Amino acid sequence: MEIQSAIHEAPDFATRWVNLSDLRLGAQALSASDEFFAPKERLLNPEPPIFIPGKYDDHGKWMDGWETRRKRGAGNDHCVVKLGLRGVIKGIDIDTSHFTGNYPPAASLEAAICDKDPDESTQWVRLLDPISLRGNAHHYLEICDPRIWSHVRLNIYPDGGIARLRIFGQVACDWAARAKDQLYDLVALENGGLAVACNDAHFGNPINLLAPGRGINMGDGWETRRRREPGNDWAIIALGHPGTIRKIEVDTAHYKGNYPDKFSVQGAYVQDGTEQSMITQSMFWPMLLPEQSLTMDKIHTFTDQIHALGAITHIRFNIIPDGGVSRLRLWGNLDEGSS
């Protein structure tokens, strides 16, 4: 119950931006000064940490995170993480859930940009000075630095256990190097797609719609509560680059008794405005794809039904009336007028 409550109290950056340290995006825990009690790989597990009473292994109590042995000398422990996608770091979450008498008193974060694994010559930049930690708690910390990073190093003082490390940020894409005549999934996380807003995310965040691959289970998608009033649910998504949409795919993988009956997509080229104004304006955006029926646990592909709107920057994805969708793909050509 405590963890669920903490999730609801997460700041905007933790729900708006992509978790660049997600294993599903290719993130890796490359090295650690020590991992005696629990391996570094668990630090990046996309699932919430769990606690299993009475579970022990050869080293002691099994813990769902990264945990070092008790340090008996000078210095501190650290873990180096390769981000799954390069980007601008907007904020982090150092999560000590279930670590009570064995969490570090303090932690800091450094970052680097390099094309290969960091070594002794790597120049690390301090993004977060040492801050005090509490046990069994989320530590959400905003980062204000416009630079692009590829790796981070989490320092703990002097030792102990961290359940999860989340690095939230804006994906950096080199669109200038891409061919204008090819099709790209313009809402994919790896291409800078972003879930801007939605009316409901009770069972799953719409950012899951943009994740790579097919959903691994029913929890790996966007699912709203059961609607008990008129209307329909919706999510607004920003494309990673303006483009003209040629193909739309909607995947209801794992959704069988709870997929939407129908869906539609509206689109627009948005140049300015606030998130709140965009929500209001999106109701009147022109239709990119009129209402289409959905079936359970299937990839649905649409091409001929797409209206010619030209280049767009945002879409409003309407599900009618409610339910769950695993993935959304919008394949299109890059807008030649945008850099």
- Give pLDDT tens digits for 265-289: 999 999 887 788 899 999 999 999 9
Break the chain into its structural domains and give their ranges. 2-171, 175-334
pLDDT (mean) for 80-105:
98
Q: Do domains 2-171 and 175-334 have the same CATH topology?
A: yes
Q: Is 315 left (phi over 0), alpha (psi -120 to 50) or beta?
A: beta
Give yes or no for a contact between 322 and 232, defined as CB atoms under 8 angstroms apart. Answer: yes
pTM: 0.88
Q: Using 50, 70 and 90 to split pLDDT, how confident is the model at 246?
A: very high
Name the CATH superfamily, with its identifier, for domain 175-334.
Answer: Galactose-binding domain-like (2.60.120.260)
User: Under 8 Å CB-to-CB from 58, ≥6 apart: which residues?
Assistant: none
| Cβ atoms within 10 Å, residue 10 | 15
Render the burial of 236-257: b for 16+ CB within 10 Å, e for the rest: bbbbbbbbbbeebebbbbbbee
Amino acid letter for position 4: Q
Give yes or no for a contact between 92 and 165, defined as CB atoms under 8 angstroms apart. Answer: yes
Between CA 105 and CA 109, with CA 108 as vertex, the angle to 5 degrees is 150
Q: What is the pLDDT of residue 179?
A: 86
Q: How far apart are CA 39 and CA 68, in angstroms?
A: 9
Largest separation between any pair of C-alpha atoms in the chain: 68
Cα-only R_g, the chain: 21
Backbone φ, ψ for residue 184 (5° rounding) = -130, 150
**Does 15 score more than 90 pLDDT?**
no
- Take residue 279 and report the two structure tokens written for it: 């929500």
Q: How far apart are CA 321 and CA 234, in angstroms?
A: 9
| Cβ atoms within 10 Å, residue 216 | 14
**228 burial via Cβ count (<10 Å: 0-12, 13-18, 19+):** exposed
pLDDT (mean) for 58-73:
95
Q: What is the pLDDT of residue 9?
A: 74
The DSSP element (H or E) to which 282 belongs, if any, is: helix 275-282
**Does 35 score more than 60 pLDDT?**
yes
Q: Which of 122, 99, 104 lies closest to 112 in space, CA to CA? A: 122
pLDDT (mean) for 203-211:
95
The topology under which CATH files domain 2-171 is Jelly Rolls (2.60.120)
**Does 338 score more than 90 pLDDT?**
no
Q: What is the pLDDT of residue 16?
A: 87
Amino acid letter for position 275: E
**Does 1 score more than 50 pLDDT?**
no
Render the burial of 114-149: b for 16+ CB within 10 Å, e for the rest: eeeebeeeeeeeebbeeeebebbbbbbbebeeeebb
Give yes or no for a contact between 66 and 39, defined as CB atoms under 8 angstroms apart. Answer: yes
Q: Does 93 or 339 have the greater pLDDT score?
A: 93
**Dihedral (Cα; 305, 334, 252, 267), 10-degree rounding:** -60
Among the residue ranges 130-139, 174-183, 321-330, the one predicted with the least confidence is 174-183
Q: How far apart are CA 318 and CA 297, in angstroms?
A: 18
Q: Using 50, 70 and 90 to split pLDDT, how confident is the model at 236?
A: very high
Q: What is the pLDDT of residue 339?
A: 57
**Does 169 score more than 70 pLDDT?**
yes
**Does 177 score more than 90 pLDDT?**
no
pLDDT tens figures, 108-151: 999 999 999 999 999 999 999 999 999 999 999 999 999 999 99
The number of C-alpha atoms within 13 Å of 317 and in the hemisphere containing its C-beta is 32
Amino acid letter for position 216: I
Give yes or no for a contact between 19 and 91, defined as CB atoms under 8 angstroms apart. Answer: no
The percentage of the chain sitting over the pLDDT mark of 90, rounded to a whole number, equals 90
Q: What is the pLDDT of residue 302?
A: 98
**172 burial via Cβ count (<10 Å: 0-12, 13-18, 19+):** middle
